[in-house]
Structure 1
């Protein structure tokens, strides 16, 4: 089996060669093999799971504030000038504001992680020769993944089955028009936007269904390559930029005053050491020792008030930006509404109430295997009599050209269909008998005529 860290040109393989390349089969992987590969190659994610290191870096980042650096310099000077009390007070103030900011941001980060764990995306794979749903992070190389409309592609893979499969690859190509995917073998030099036999992590299914053999996961995917190239530090907020500018200005003023006063003292023939101590003490006195604590306390208070309104503040310094916001655009579904739909009535094309429309809608919403939206769920929840007697035979998935989804269904019990036919036949027989009875009162000529008529009737029945 090839190492997942190597770049595999899987779009040049047919299905058999691709399965051999990743040591898999059309029956999928076993649970034991998938667990082994997950331990060997790691989870299917672009993130580094290094919580201890991230917490340490989060704590260190609290000291990057220019004002905090000035205070650290002032504490060092106080200690150098043997003013131990003042040095300890400054250090305590720094630690208080630093720990407060660190604790708030860590708590917010943990809360966000817990929320993300609640909304983890699942995908359907073939394990131990049967379908099962797993988290996207548990997908490994060699997995057989089933896709339908609305599904997110969990990793890079080769298409081994498809039915009118259209994928949105705007993340990679910038094109909003869905790409039709087909089974095939392509040249190694084929660019990414022309690889119609492949799917890529981060894209999603617009319509149709498909089965994919996973080749690359995590950072070895095309999305992982893009993520590494675009990886950069979190941009500074306007508040942080303002604090940095204020700190730089304070440092410049302090430095100018210290140099100027030291030079004046030297020109006035003051003792050199006394002049140095005086200017350094002045520098310590000019530093705003309580400013970091005041900023941290106020931002923490704002975060607490927002938490009461069910808003998690992950970065304290972002509160100032949020306060300066004049226009906020948000998707209303799930934000301003509950995202729940209920069926009120069903009408035909003439605007009249129609139970048949509701019945057909119920069949479509319940039996279709594509992406089910809230409207489908609302229709599926309606109870209808005798609905269980229908089963799905075939389906043409929804696509953006036809703008419809088509289903072929039949009665679940064929016996009922035969009973209906027998009932109709008996009815015709009774009708014919009545006709013959009435005819017997007539002449023989008329009887023959009626006999011919009965024969035609029986032919129509058959």
Structure 2
């Protein structure tokens, strides 16, 4: 089993690499196939991932190069986590830093959701703060023209912010403040700021995202969006790509839920918005608690805890090192369709591994029961040790071909998991069926043909090997075996061994292993018993799957 399992997983990894999915941990292939919930951010997955600065505006909504310049100074001088928003700003505007001296930095965190830079420009010291709309607005008290930022003005700004968000535009606010020169600066300086204006960004929906979401849905995989963006932006983008977005949970609402409440809320929620990295891990664990196999696609440093918590984690080729190290799979292209192809290959690998397990466990149980039962009555061993080893070796040759076996479409349509009860029932029912035909063979050999010990061993070896070879072709599919074509390696190796098996007693080395020529009538009887076994196994399979849905 370990050898065949390794071959199956290695073959699956090779095929997935051709599909643009690099496998870092072989054991995760089956988890990817079993996944029924995929959690991902929208940037680069539902959208193009190319964020552009749409514009800079003052508090009145008029275009402003001053706001863009302030945002560019902040983006150029901050040294915290890399941000695609900063990259978009600097791609549009390269600030003149020749007359700017950085004095301090108040770094970004997920509570304040803003970053501030203290600079010396001209003859004064100025704090430039850039961050989420509400967190910057909350620390501003005046506008650039000196007007007080009262409730009517705040309501007007909120309305403009909502209009931008409803169009899928992300908004950052920029505030400034003149400071006195001193030894150090900190968060206490981030109050009574002047609202300079806003920076707006656009990331267009990705072509093919809607189709990829629909394809994942048909595979039984629901996609949940986990993003730090605002509710309105996330809902707009989700609506453009055809993703469900009626049920939304914000980071603030999530914090108010205890674990048991979150378990149920997470299962129902479509979009998780305005969340921080620590909340991502809680979401993943909640979904797992409800029995889901959860995948998480991440690319940042802060995604690592959620990636470790997920059943299967995915990252992209250009992600940070920490994210790639935490990932089970690395996507060469950040697209949901690549994940869809990986899921399909994972399910095919799982299906082919299960075929081997079902075939081998049922055949081995049948042989064990037959060997143990007949040994109680025979004055000789039913098979010698060498014959048993040869039987196992030959029957495992086609099993290697199962790694490349074709898989029926219905076995890929839904996520499947290891079910020990299902495997146990299958093993017992088909193992007992195999023993019934073994006992039929014993009866014919002992009471009809009065076989000698050597003939008995040879004949049972042939019958046992034949039935174990043909049962693989039957249990590999839930369809009628002749309506599902096996893979070339499996089919060819099985046909060769089925033809070779009756001839083994006549090969030059046969006597070394205790084989003797078998009369033609015995060979014909063994072939007939094998044919009846095929019919019985096919009938049992149809009944088994009908009663074990």
TM-score range, shorter chain: under 0.3
TM-score (norm 2): 0.20
- Return the TM-score normalized by structure 1: 0.23
